[in-house]
């Protein structure tokens, strides 16, 4: 347990540095997109909405860590060098291609590491700390972006990615625990089967795992929809610029960082994950732009709770597979959302909207979160011993 927390320190540093580099681009990328593809800053051109949304459709493909961290350096280097229309489209294409192996790789690996090395009721607290460090990186990146000029933002982002990669190569060590011996006697899944077959067996025998996947999809679907629509909505309707985006993100991340690092871990180990999950989804779907910061603490409970619930369905040796499956569903939700919400936002912000409701896409996003909330209410606890017996029985039958 102690070794797990020591190793987690290096993983948290990598998560922070990579998150810092990625989140630094958030406040400014909307302005850069509009400046590159729109005829004037006040033009609510639909192309910017489509590009902002579809740029996210390749999130979270699982890959080895060194390659994605190397490739992540390329997009900010391009915009750090020049930001005219031609270079923006070059950035756009490179960003999509690199996102195939970059986005979500660090988060997926970090979640699997926590699930493998932290046991018992402290695991949900560890997931909250991991999410808190990610949010803290967002806070620091947004704060720096608030005061740096646009050209420097992308240069600092590229340097941060480089430092994260070097740190990872030097300090992070492969996890070599005694889980292999443990798996020989108490493994939940049959190690001889393929990953896909393992997941099918788990979904057949664990209703809770399937419910967690459904909740993950709708949560990521709504989150990605908000990312692809909300900032451009503020830009088009209220004329937000880089500094105002940064101010809004700072408020959200300050509240989120404090709650995830200092408040939620104290309660997470004593309150059931499913209750925390339902509370988080409730706050997520009732969220409105004008009261965003009030609902941040609850909304940030969702993914740590899902990871905690899923991790208790298998033994230590299968945590990578389970967290990878959660990450895959999370990525699928992010893939689908921009195809739905980007055109929807563009239509209702245009002069050809079927009826006057500029924020209609935001309403649909909230309804998506509500579906996840209703599903979370159906999740029930199953004793681990019963679950393991059932899965082992099914594994033998499949074999």
CB neighbours (10 Å) of residue 257?
22
pLDDT level of residue 324 (50, 70, 90 thresholds): confident
Q: Identify whether the C-beta of residue 277 lies closer than 8 Å to the C-beta of residue 301.
A: yes
Q: Residue ranges per domain, the chain? A: 2-169+185-398
Q: How far apart are alpha carbons 190 and 102 in whole angstroms?
A: 30
% the chain with pLDDT above 70:
63
> Average pLDDT for residues 131-152, to the nearest whole number?
78
Each residue's pLDDT tens digit, 178-188: 444 444 444 44
pTM here is 0.64
Each residue's pLDDT tens digit, 244-300: 777 777 777 777 777 767 766 676 667 777 888 888 888 777 665 555 556 666 677
CA distances from 66 to 14, 108, 216, 217 (A): 12, 14, 27, 27
Q: How far apart are alpha carbons 171 and 202 in whole angstroms?
A: 34
Q: What is the pLDDT of residue 55?
A: 45
Q: What is the pLDDT of residue 64?
A: 52
Q: What is the pLDDT of residue 38?
A: 57
Query: What's the CATH superfamily of 2-169+185-398?
Result: MFS general substrate transporter like domains (1.20.1250.20)
Output the average pLDDT for the chain. Answer: 71
Each residue's pLDDT tens digit, 284-301: 776 655 555 566 666 777
């Amino acid at each position: 347990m102690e070794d797990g927390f020591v190793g987690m320190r290096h993983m948290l540093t990598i998560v922070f540095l990579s998150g810092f580099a990625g989140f630094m681009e958030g406040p400014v990328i909307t302005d850069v997109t509009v400046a590159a593809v729109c005829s004037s800053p006040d033009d609510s051109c639909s192309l910017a909405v489509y590009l902002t949304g579809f740029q996210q459709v390749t999130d979270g493909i699982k890959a080895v860590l060194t390659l994605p961290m190397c490739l992540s350096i390329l997009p900010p280097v391009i915009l750090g060098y020049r930001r005219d229309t031609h270079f923006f489209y070059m950035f756009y294409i490179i960003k999509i291609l690199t996102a195939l192996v970059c986005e979500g790789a660090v988060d997926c690996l970090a979640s699997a590491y926590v699930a493998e090395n932290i046991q018992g009721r402290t695991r949900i607290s560890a997931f909250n700390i991991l999410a808190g460090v990610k949010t803290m990186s967002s806070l620091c990146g947004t704060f720096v972006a608030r005061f740096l000029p646009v050209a420097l933002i992308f240069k600092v982002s590229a340097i941060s990615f480089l430092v994260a990669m070097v740190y990872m190569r030097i300090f992070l060590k492969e996890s070599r625990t005694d889980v292999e011996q443990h798996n020989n006697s108490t493994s939940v899944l049959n190690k001889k089967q393929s990953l896909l077959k393992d997941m099918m067996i788990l979904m057949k025998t664990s209703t809770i795992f399937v419910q967690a996947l459904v909740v993950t999809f709708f949560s990521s679907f709504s989150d990605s929809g908000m990312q692809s629509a909300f900032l451009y909505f503020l830009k088009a309707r209220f004329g937000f610029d880089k500094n105002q985006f940064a101010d809004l993100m700072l408020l959200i991340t300050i509240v989120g960082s404090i709650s995830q690092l200092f408040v939620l871990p104290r309660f997470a180990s004593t309150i059931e994950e499913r209750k925390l999950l339902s509370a988080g989804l409730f706050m997520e779907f009732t969220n409105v732009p004008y009261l965003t910061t009030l609902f941040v603490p609850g909304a940030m409970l969702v993914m740590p709770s899902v990871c905690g619930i899923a991790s208790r369905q298998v033994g230590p040796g299968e945590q990578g597979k389970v967290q990878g499956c959660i990450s895959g569903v999370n990525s699928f939700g992010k893939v689908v959302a921009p195809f739905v919400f980007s055109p929807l936002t563009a239509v209702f912000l245009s002069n050809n909207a079927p009826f006057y409701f500029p924020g209609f896409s935001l309403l649909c996003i909230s309804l998506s979160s509500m579906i996840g909330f209703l599903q979370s209410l159906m999740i029930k606890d199953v004793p681990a011993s019963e679950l393991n017996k059932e899965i082992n029985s099914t594994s033998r039958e499949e074999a």
